[in-house]
Structure 1
Amino acid sequence: MGWKAIARYVTGTSHQEQKIPCQDCGNYRIFKDVIVGAVADGAGSAKYSHFGSELAVETVIKCFADINELPDKQGFTQPLSEMEAKEVFTKFVKEVITALKKQADHKGYSVSDLACTLLVFIATPEWVAAMQIGDGFIVMGSQDGEYQMLFKPDKGEFFNETTFVTSANALEEMQVQVISGKQEFICASTDGLEKVAIRFSDWKPHAPFFKPLEEYLRETDKPGGNDDNYINVFLNSERLNSRTDDDKTLLLCLFE
């Protein structure tokens, strides 16, 4: 029994043509029966957002590790209330902002040059706490096979606008939710896959998108191994690229 996970992010065809680096990033870390995952999408208008998204994800993972590795702490073995989850995620976001400002000062950038969205979840066999700043999505699947999206993506007041970690109102706009009960499958992604994974008419997950990904995790002993190229092939497929030219990220987790 335990978590299996994989994180992959690839450059969209539009960025390949313009020779722009992938502005997405995603990663995870497992501590016994607890997993933390984070994905970030650099702002297209921000010059160094590919560095910002990577640093944001790295900082979240480090914050989580620091909490879990303290010898006198129990980590996240006990369920969090929504208020406690908001406190934890606020700490994470403040650490991310500090790291981005430090990087900007060191390199002579404006911190807005590192702007990115951020989605984070902490999951145990019995509960999940999650947060989202900006667009993208977190979808969970329970034992009954139903998929649910935790937050409606933040699209801002105008087309193609969203909130970033570096925005003045980032913490005010941060969405937080705690879900009780066993959630077997979790998928976190940036907005590059929204149009193929989410039904915009009612913001419901498109089950035929998620089911093969869940089955892949169930059938794979060590996802992401040296001989495992399933997710990369999927993310770079012509069929997918014909529907989205943006950078694409998949962070997939399964508890079994």
Structure 2
Amino acid sequence: MEWRYAAASVTGASHVQQQLPCQDAWQIQQTNGGMIACVADGAGSAKRSDIGSRTLVDHLCQALAPQLNEIITHSNGTQLLVDAIDKVRQELSEQGPIAEFHATLCGLIATSQGQMVFHIGDGVILGINPADWQDYVISEPENGEYADMTYFFTLPGWQQHLRIWCPHKPYPLWFLMSDGVSGFAVTGGQTAGPQENFLKPVHQYLSTVSADQGSQALSGTLQDKRAAAISHDDKTLAWLYMNQN
């Protein structure tokens, strides 16, 4: 099983103006056993959320990559994921107050044995059948009492907001995105789904180029003035595709 992928994070206009770093991060790791992808969005209100998001995605991919089949197939698989997140929390708490590292998490594990989605807070995860864009699964944002509130892996009750589920069938195409992208990549209304006018051309182009070319193209797309007009936030989009032809 070999996945193709491309991803990019860009600094939002508001952070550029404030001379702040990009607080989003992504990491994708492919092994003989499968693939793990993570996207994290650091909270703008947290002083070191860029470190929190980067540490989270890097450490999760590194720790879980050797155990992907076990996570999918064994009864203790979800506990391995919980333990890995908890270890990141412990490591960050040794560097300072953990609230300084607030970040959300979107993640996907895919092996020949199945697929698993894991999600804390906002952002969106989409699994799509590229032969029929109405055939999809979605993990939607979880917001708090107000629309601009969400949940982070650094909060005391984080496990209550860790959503883990497996799609009823494997999907060959996945997008993981931070909330800076979901405003133009996901349809609104009562039924959220892929915004075909945006995601379909992205998929079609990325399918024809190398990972490096694809990541550069994604970065350019996310920095486009039209994207900036919709959201001033940092933006991350990851594309993962297993060509079954």
Length-normalised TM-score, structure 1: 0.87
Question: What amino acid does structure 1 have at the position aligned with 2:5?
Answer: A
Q: 1:14 and 1:42 mapped to 2: Cα distance?
A: 14
How much does 1:250 deviate?
Answer: 1.0
Question: What amino acid does structure 2 have at the position aligned with 1:6?
Answer: A
Deviating more after overlay: 18-27 vs 179-188: 179-188
Instruction: Map 1:177-188 to 2 at 5 A.
Output: 177-188=165-176
Does structure 1 conserve the Cα–Cα contact (< 8 Å) formed by 2:64 and 2:81?
no
What does residue 4 of structure 2 align with? 4
Q: 1:215 and 1:39 mapped to 2: Cα distance?
A: 22
Question: What amino acid does structure 2 have at the position aligned with 1:208?
Answer: N
Instruction: Map 1:1-256 to 2 at 5 A.
Output: 2-32=2-32, 34-65=34-65, 67-68=66-67, 75-76=68-69, 79-80=72-73, 84-102=76-94, 104=95, 109-125=96-112, 127-142=114-129, 144-146=131-133, 148-201=136-189, 202-220=191-209, 222-225=210-213, 229-256=216-243
Question: What amino acid does structure 2 have at the position aligned with 1:35?
Answer: M
Which runs of no fewer than 5 residues in structure 1 stay unpaired? 69-74
Question: What amino acid does structure 2 have at the position aligned with 1:3?
Answer: W
What is the SS of the residue equivalent to 2:202?
A: helix
How much does 1:244 deviate?
Answer: 1.1
Does structure 2 conserve the Cα–Cα contact (< 8 Å) formed by 1:135 and 1:153?
yes
How much does 1:206 deviate?
Answer: 1.5
What is the SS of the residue equivalent to 1:249?
A: strand
Does structure 2 conserve the Cα–Cα contact (< 8 Å) formed by 1:125 and 1:182?
no
What is the SS of the residue equivalent to 2:132?
A: coil
Question: What amino acid does structure 1 have at the position aligned with 2:126?
Answer: V
Q: 1:131 and 1:59 mapped to 2: Cα distance?
A: 15
What is the SS of the residue equivalent to 1:195?
A: helix
How much does 1:78 deviate?
Answer: 8.5
Does structure 2 conserve the Cα–Cα contact (< 8 Å) formed by 1:127 and 1:180?
no
Length-normalised TM-score, structure 2: 0.90
The change in CA–CA distance for 1:168 and 1:77 in structure 2 (over 3 A counts) is closer
How much does 1:55 deviate?
Answer: 0.5
How much does 1:79 deviate?
Answer: 4.5
Q: 2:233 and 2:204 mapped to 1: Cα distance?
A: 25
Question: What amino acid does structure 2 have at the position aligned with 1:197?
Answer: A
Q: 2:203 and 2:241 mapped to 1: Cα distance?
A: 7
The change in CA–CA distance for 1:211 and 1:84 in structure 2 (over 3 A counts) is farther
**Percentage of identical aligned residues:** 25
Q: 1:232 and 1:143 mapped to 2: Cα distance?
A: 22
Question: What amino acid does structure 1 have at the position aligned with 2:237?
Answer: L
Q: 1:215 and 1:33 mapped to 2: Cα distance?
A: 26
Which runs of no fewer than 5 residues in structure 2 stay unpaired? none
1:17-57 per-residue CA deviation (whole Å, 9 max, x = no partner) reads 11111000011000125110001011111011111100011
Does structure 2 conserve the Cα–Cα contact (< 8 Å) formed by 1:192 and 1:249?
yes
